[in-house]
Chains A and B, each alone.
Chain A
Amino acid sequence: MSNNEFDVIIIGGGITGAGTQRDCAMRGLKTLLIERSDIATGATGRNHGLLHSGARYAVNDPESAQECIRENMILRRIASHCVDETDGLFITLPEDDLAYQQTFVDACRKAGISAEVIDPELAKRLEPTVNPDITGAVRVPDGSVDPFRLCAANMLDAKLHGGQVRLHTTVTGFIREGDTIRGVHTRNLNTGQEQDFYAPVTVNAGGIWGHDIAQLAGVHVGMFPAKGALLVFAHRVNNMVINRCRKPSNADILVPGDTVCIIGTTSTRIPFEECDSVSVTPDEVNLLITEGAKMTPTLSSTRILRAYAGVRPLVSADDDPSGRNISRGIVCLDHEERDGLKGFITITGGKLMTYRLMAEIATDAVCRKLAVDKACETATTPLPGSEEGSYEAVARKIWEKPSMAQKAAAARMGSRASRIRTRNKLDEALVCECEEVSVAEVTNAIERLDASTLTDLRRRTRIGMGTCQGEFCACRAAGLLARAHGCIEKERDDLKEFLQERWKGNFPIGWGDTLREAEYTQWVYKHVLGV
């Protein structure tokens, strides 16, 4: 097999693509993943990061609920360094019907989800920020999962199994012979280099952009772009996931993640043209704050860090204008069976936390086409970084007396933190003070995790995600990136893009301390540094 020939090409570097590449690679296939931007740039990185117990779907979509609880238990084992086992509460507010609680609990139990009705007083003790007026509470095994880490770990494992990854590379067309897809034409968006790759099977894992990818291949997948807006708060106010115990609606999930917590979401149908540039409207911001404060009153006075939105890759089934009633189920299309187009598979729908199952289904389809008979092992094989225990244990194993920054690195990377080499004290210097990211961790992300821009670095290390939103770390990291790739001109533009990207999430919630921080950042970069 020559350098540009593979068993399978996967298009899309979100969690579905990364998971599919890992599964294929673990079954011995020679894989190539192509992503036009960076890892986790689409819906993967633009949701709550909720490790669903499935309870949310138990009443209306039992099939999804069962998928969720199975995958929930699997991810706790195989992705422990990406998962925070917080548990969740489904609370009933005075304005909600308490009778729904019984329906909910029955449905959960039927789906195999442990759902324990607890005294509201106990719920308040477990989660002191919860609205003190709650009339009911149910405890479920919800949690949170870091999508960036999860995606990076899957891709890393694919690479460890011989997979190749081309980031910032776009598919410009398909190589088609008659009724068969033989490969793809690509262009590297950083260098402009064009290259063809060949494989007997290509998997379309492009999320909402899978619609366009399918069209490029000459088949139609009717997708349903449903925008969801979310807000990130600057503190982790809650330690358990908080949900409303009612029919799923807007802004009724609050998820703690790392140093922050996230409220969401909304659901609005948008045209395909807007998928690349979704923004959050003032109405959405107001709705998220108002509804969020009903569950956790302290949210109304908590600093908001940013607003962001993602586009759910739902497959359209009817004319439901909200998109809420469409199944969030997994859709795997074999275009040979469906459209007579050989060598092409689309995997879509699903959720962040059912990605592994989606990958398994897609890989099964790939293996059938290639007549490979090898069982899936992703449900039992830990991801790189998740092989051993808690982050404290991991940190202690690597460093005799771990510093705060080293503990933070272990929490982000699990056992892979041992790969951060500090040659001297200077490598331990902090680039990002909010999130405690060292020079060594940034260098590791540049050298070993394919980060080529500041935004790439943010997804791998959390730089710029903290309270200062990149005020200081951005130009420090830009200095390190500039040294690594040697092109200062490019890095200057990269820095501007990074600041613009941060501002995009700040101005919709630009008041109070967020506006203070923004004024400071704008002053420093324009007047002091002269960007």
Chain B
Amino acid sequence: MKFNTVIIGGGLASLVAGITLEKAGKSTAIISTGQNALHFFSGSFESMEEAPQRVTDLFAEAGIQLHYNPGVRLMPMGTFRKSTLSLEDISIFPEPAIGHKALIVSFAGYHDFFCQFLAEGLQKHGVQCSIKLLNLPELEALEQSPSEMRSVQIARTMDRIWENVVREIRILLRDEDTVILPQVFGLKDTSVLSRIRQGVPAQVVFTGTLPPSVPGIRTQMLLKRRYELLGGIYLMGDEATGAHVHEGKIHSIVTHNLGNHFLEAENFILATGAYFSKGLRSNPFEICEPVFGLDVEQAAERSDWYNPEFMREQPYMKYGVATDATLHALKGGEPLRNLYAIGSILGETRPELGTGGGLAIRSALAVADQILKPTEE
């Protein structure tokens, strides 16, 4: 099998790069282990304090509406954070004042949405809050099992019965100008969000829950569908285990499932994420990149990897695969000519590209452009 580009990793950066290349007519494949950082996505792309047309168009073509305004968004623990480019689930306010009276609505027995913290946080900003827990007969099946009342399971039910929730809220609503709901709506059908907003006679603010993230999973599904409709091949449940390197170029890669069928390509993109996604691995002595054995920028002494204060910035999170100006990955100090690294495997080694979702999108587009640029070769 030979492709123009093989992308290792199946998250946000991979899909943005893959869609861009497919749109330009290049044949691509994505190798995905299954889970990725989109599964705990907050709904806002970190470090993207802008809404580039190119990005909003790419997402809109996949059925995902993005928006950005300077301002703030409400966090699940009742604090406010500076706004960044966000999914339509996320409400952006010019300042930390969302209204005068808010009704916070959740479900009895659901512990992954923090009503009291939200209420206390909002009250500090002058919002009077009341909390109502809905007792919906449709959730009874989930209540039967001690570990079923989680975001995705509830969201599956909500896709069917969201109209009942709207009816309940209409009944409960008195003079509140704002209704706060957990992000458990529109898992499969994005239109549910706007229909809830239309159906409730108050401003509706969807707020985050404990992972898995319902908007994140929806985003993953829609981007993947778009990629596949464009002709991309998404190899789910597989992982790259090694590579054939010849004279500073990757010839092909080996995957777990394909065995002796090597994946050949002109270009390879490494987007396997940081530690949690296993793009970076660590042992007591060093942090390494397991597929190609790339150079990883890091402090030599393990004791320098951490800040003993949990809430402070952690040095280990800044480490990442070393790259040249055009994001070619380095091995032994030398760039591999057809291997690029994008997304959070870069850590904070390329601060100009941002962090989190912003880094994923910016680095993916930069590398796709690089691949699409006509070369002398």
Which residues of A pack against B, CB within 8 Å?
A: 279, 282, 285-286, 289, 403, 405, 425-426, 428-431, 433, 438-439, 472, 475-476, 478-480, 482-483, 488-489, 491-492, 496, 499-500, 502-504, 507, 510-512, 515-517, 519-520, 522-524, 526-531
Contacts and interface: CB of A to CB of B under 8 A. Distances in A.
Contacts of B119: 488
B4 interface: no
Given A528-B208, A528-B213, A530-B81, A522 B282 contact: no
User: Which 8 residue pairs of A and B lie closest in terms of their CB atoms, listed nearest first?
Assistant: A530-B75, A488-B120, A426-B109, A503-B310, A507-B306, A511-B282, A476-B111, A519-B275
Contact of B117 (A488, A519, A523): A488
Given A426-B143, A500-B310, A488 B116 contact: yes
A439 B111 contact: yes
28 contacts: A282-B303, A426-B109, A429-B147, A430-B146, A433-B147, A439-B111, A475-B114, A475-B210, A482-B116, A491-B117, A492-B77, A492-B117, A492-B120, A499-B310, A499-B311, A504-B308, A507-B306, A510-B282, A510-B302, A511-B284, A512-B281, A515-B316, A519-B274, A519-B316, A522-B310, A522-B317, A524-B211, A527-B42
Contact of B76 (A285, A476, A500, A528): A528
Contacts of A438: 146
B311 A526 contact: yes
B265 to A, nearest CB: 29
B356 interface: yes
A286 B120 CA distance: 45
Contacts of A483: 116
Interface in B71-100: 75-77, 79, 81
Given A285-B284, A433-B147, A503-B310, 8 more contacts: A426-B143, A431-B111, A475-B114, A479-B114, A479-B115, A512-B282, A527-B42, A529-B210
Nearest to A489: B120
B117 A511 contact: no
B146 A516 contact: no
B81 A480 contact: no
B314 interface: yes
B149 interface: yes
Q: For B81, B117, B211, B311, which residue has the most chain A Cβ atoms within 10 angstroms? A: B117
Nearest to A285: B284
Nearest to A403: B146
Nearest to A304: B284
A466 to B, nearest CB: 13
A303 B193 CA distance: 42
Contacts of A499: 310-311
Contacts of A282: 302-303
Given A507-B308, A530-B77, A430 B117 contact: no
A306 to B, nearest CB: 13
Contacts of B146: 403, 405, 428-430, 438
A430 B148 CA distance: 9
Interface in B279-313: 281-284, 302-303, 305-306, 308-311
B147 A430 contact: yes
Given A282-B302, A476-B111, A515 B116 contact: no
Nearest to A426: B109
Interface of B: 40-42, 46, 75-77, 79, 81, 108-109, 111-112, 114-117, 119-120, 143-144, 146-147, 149, 208, 210-211, 213, 274-276, 278, 281-284, 302-303, 305-306, 308-311, 314, 316-317, 356
A418 to B, nearest CB: 19
A476 B112 contact: yes
Contacts of A428: 146
Contacts of A503: 308-310
A134 B310 CA distance: 42
A526 B311 CA distance: 8
Most buried by B among A480, A483, A496, A516: A516
Contacts of A479: 111, 114-117
Contacts of A504: 308
A91 B292 CA distance: 43
A479 B76 CA distance: 12
A531 B210 CA distance: 12
A511 B120 CA distance: 37
Per DSSP, chain B at the interface is loop
A425 B144 contact: yes
B75 A529 contact: yes
Nearest to A282: B303
Among B147, B276, B282: residue with most chain A CB under 10 A: B276
A488 B124 CA distance: 12
A531 B111 contact: no
A528 B211 contact: yes
Contacts of B41: 528
Nearest to A487: B120
Contacts of A515: 275, 282, 316
Nearest to B117: A488
A279 B144 CA distance: 43
A429 B109 contact: yes
Contact of A531 (B77, B108, B211): B77
Contact of B309 (A286, A491, A500, A517): A500
B117 A516 contact: no
A516 B308 contact: no
A260 B47 CA distance: 40
A517 to B, nearest CB: 8
Contacts of A520: 40, 276
Contacts of B147: 429-430, 433
B208 A429 contact: no
A523 B276 CA distance: 10
A110 B311 CA distance: 55
B308 A529 contact: no
B209 to A, nearest CB: 9
Contacts of B79: 530-531
A431 to B, nearest CB: 7
Contacts of B143: 425-426, 429
A426 B116 contact: no
Contacts of B211: 524, 528
Contacts of A289: 284
Given A428-B146, A504-B308, A519-B275, A527 B46 contact: yes
B174 to A, nearest CB: 23
A524 B149 contact: no
Given A492-B77, A522-B314, A426 B274 contact: no
A286 B284 CA distance: 9
Contacts of A522: 310, 314, 317
A430 B112 CA distance: 11
Contact of A429 (B75, B149, B305, B356): B149
A431 B310 CA distance: 22
B40 A523 contact: yes
B320 to A, nearest CB: 12
A528 B40 contact: yes
A23 B114 CA distance: 43
Contacts of A475: 77, 114, 210
Given A488-B120, A520-B276, A528-B40, A511 B310 contact: no
A491 B120 CA distance: 11
Contacts of A439: 111
B348 to A, nearest CB: 13
B311 A511 contact: no
Contacts of A507: 306, 308
Nearest to B149: A429
A510 B305 contact: yes
A194 B333 CA distance: 65
Contacts of B302: 282, 510-511
B111 A480 contact: yes
A348 B284 CA distance: 38
Contact of A510 (B115, B149, B309, B316): B316
Nearest to B143: A425
A500 B77 CA distance: 17
